[in-house]
Amino acid sequence: MRIYLNLSAAAIALACLTLPARADDVPTLQVEQVCHGIVNQSGGSLTVGDPKVAFDQCMAGEKADRETMIKEWSTFSTEDKRHCTAETRMGGESSYTELVTCLEMARDVRNLRNDQAKALASPTGKPK
């Protein structure tokens, strides 16, 4: 009975780890890995020879992008949130810059298509 309970507890814990977060929840990404990669690939060219400063600049940029995304979060559709969050997390390195760009592009394309559909539906061919 004890083994069965331990296995059940382990299965529940594993399921909780693998379940996706609700699309309405602002995701928390681990951006340190992508910032280290940027600094390593730049060869220190982002700053004059100080990789720590370049890393800190990258992290500050990611923090600013997360804050922008939080402010705009309600303007994105649930479908776009789910899609862009999953796409951003693919491959292991996640970036708020990538996520907010995906969300903004998806929202803007949807708005453009809606405007075009309204224009085509209008008798004058112009948006209402």
CA distances to 29, 55, 103 from 68, rounded to whole Å, are 14, 20, 11
pLDDT tens over the chain, length 128 residues? 566 545 454 444 444 434 445 557 899 999 999 999 888 887 655 555 567 778 899 999 999 999 999 999 999 999 999 999 999 999 888 999 999 999 999 999 999 999 999 988 877 756 55
**Residue 98: per-residue pLDDT:** 94
- Render the burial of 57-85: b for 16+ CB within 10 Å, e for the rest: ebeebbeebbeebeeeeeebeeebbbebb
51-72 vs 96-121: helix axis angle to the nearest 10?
40
The DSSP result for the chain, as a single string, is -HHHHHHHHHHHHHHHHHSPPPTTSPP----HHHHHHHHHHHTTTTTTS-HHHHHHHHHHHHHHHHHHHHHHGGGS-HHHHHHHHHHHHTTS---HHHHHHHHHHHHHHHHHHHHHHHHHHSTTSS--
Write down the pTM of the prediction.
0.69
**Residue 88: per-residue pLDDT:** 94
